[in-house]
């Protein structure tokens, strides 16, 4: 089982969007996938309630109010069959909660938006994260995802400097597009939307998926079809995880 956590103390940077997209990706590739929502706002769980019944199943557990009468570890156990756990986290995490979350993850993705306010917030967050993880960072993989990038401005360059300063790889750059809110409103991930609408996004996700697959072995199962898409998936399908070139350099 591999646990991928999407974490950043800054609110609104894309934690839920990235968590739900990843849950769709892995469930659509036949991985037994669980989505845990540690955020009292429960946005991921609400999204899951909207998920059409014919889409690949994603299991969930109420991580905010776990079952009483058992240990917390037991209550949060997603089952022995689970292959990939995606954890969506709240904003404002710090102190013991941050250290506890850090310990639960195998891979941590940190979404960051290219703005000075976000950089200031993430700098403090990363300093704290690195303190908790001082002795453990070698066993964990941490990567930054630049999110809602419109154009590669000076502000975006600062993201690269931030990543360099903390020696955390910048894994992927995702554009600002309403595709994400459309997917969110329909219980889908953009990897399940009509291919013609998301081709740019598919390409942008590929380095991130490749990086994750360095620890989550590929499956041979073909991906399930998308909305309004009756075509067979091919090796051109950039969500298929087959063409893995660029991200290999990011292995840590």
Ligand X SMILES: Nc1ncnc2c1ncn2[C@@H]1O[C@H](COP(=O)(O)OP(=O)(O)OP(=O)(O)O)[C@@H](O)[C@H]1O
Report if residue 94 touches ligand X, rule: CB under 6 A.
Answer: no
- Count of residues interacting with Mg ion (CB under 5 A): 3
- Closer to Mg ion by Cβ: residue 43 or 238: 43
Query: What are the C-alpha distances in Å from 46 to residues 17, 57, 98, 149?
Result: 12, 15, 23, 26
Q: Of 146-205, which residues contact ligand X (CB under 6 A)? A: 147-148, 174, 176-177, 180-181, 184
> What is the dihedral angle through the alpha carbons of 223, 211, 82, 67, rounded to the nearest 10 degrees?
-120
Report if residue 43 touches Mg ion, rule: CB under 5 A.
Answer: yes
Binding residue for Mg ion (CB under 5 A) from 4, 5, 14, 15? 15
Work out the number of other CB atoms within 10 angstroms of the CB of residue 172.
25
Only one of the segments 6-14, 156-164, 224-232, 236-244 lies at the binding site for ligand X (rule: CB under 6 A); that segment is 6-14
Q: Which two tokens stand for residue 104?
A: 């639960």
Phi, then psi, of 103 in degrees rounded to 5 = -65, -25
Report if residue 17 touches ligand X, rule: CB under 6 A.
Answer: yes
Minimum distance from residue 16 beta carbon to Mg ion (Å): 3
* 17, interface contact from Mg ion, ligand X, none, CB < 5-8 Å by kind: ligand X
> What is the dihedral angle through the alpha carbons of 230, 236, 238, 241, rounded to the nearest 10 degrees?
110
Report if residue 43 touches ligand X, rule: CB under 6 A.
Answer: yes
Phi-psi region for residue 83, left (φ > 0), alpha (ψ -120 to 50) or beta? alpha
Minimum distance from residue 150 beta carbon to ligand X (Å): 9
């Amino acid at each position: 089982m591999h646990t991928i956590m999407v974490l950043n103390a800054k609110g609104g940077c894309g934690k839920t969007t990235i968590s739900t997209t990843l849950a769709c990706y892995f469930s659509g590739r036949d991985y037994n996938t669980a989505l845990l929502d540690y955020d009292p706002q429960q946005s991921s769980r609400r999204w899951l309630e909207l998920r059409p019944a014919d889409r690949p199943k994603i299991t969930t557990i109420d991580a905010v109010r776990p079952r009483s009468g058992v240990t917390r570890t037991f209550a949060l156990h997603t089952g022995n069959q689970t292959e990939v756990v995606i954890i969506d986290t709240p904003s404002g995490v710090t102190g013991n909660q941050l250290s506890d979350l850090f310990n639960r993850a195998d891979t941590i993705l940190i979404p960051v938006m290219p703005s000075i306010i976000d950089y200031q917030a993430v700098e403090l967050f990363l300093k704290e994260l690195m303190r908790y993880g001082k002795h453990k960072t070698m066993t964990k993989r941490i990567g930054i995802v630049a999110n809602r990038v419109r154009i590669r401005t000076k502000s975006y360059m600062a993201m690269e400097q931030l990543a360099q300063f903390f020696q955390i790889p910048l894994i992927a750059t995702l554009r600002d597009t309403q595709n994400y809110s459309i997917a969110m409103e329909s219980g889908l991930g953009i990897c399940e939307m009509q291919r013609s609408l998301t081709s740019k996004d598919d390409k942008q996700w590929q380095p991130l998926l490749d990086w994750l697959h360095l620890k989550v072995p590929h499956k041979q199962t073909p991906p399930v079809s998308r909305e309004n898409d009756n075509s067979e998936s091919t090796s051109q399908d950039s969500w298929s995880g087959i063409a893995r070139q660029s991200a290999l350099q990011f292995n840590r």
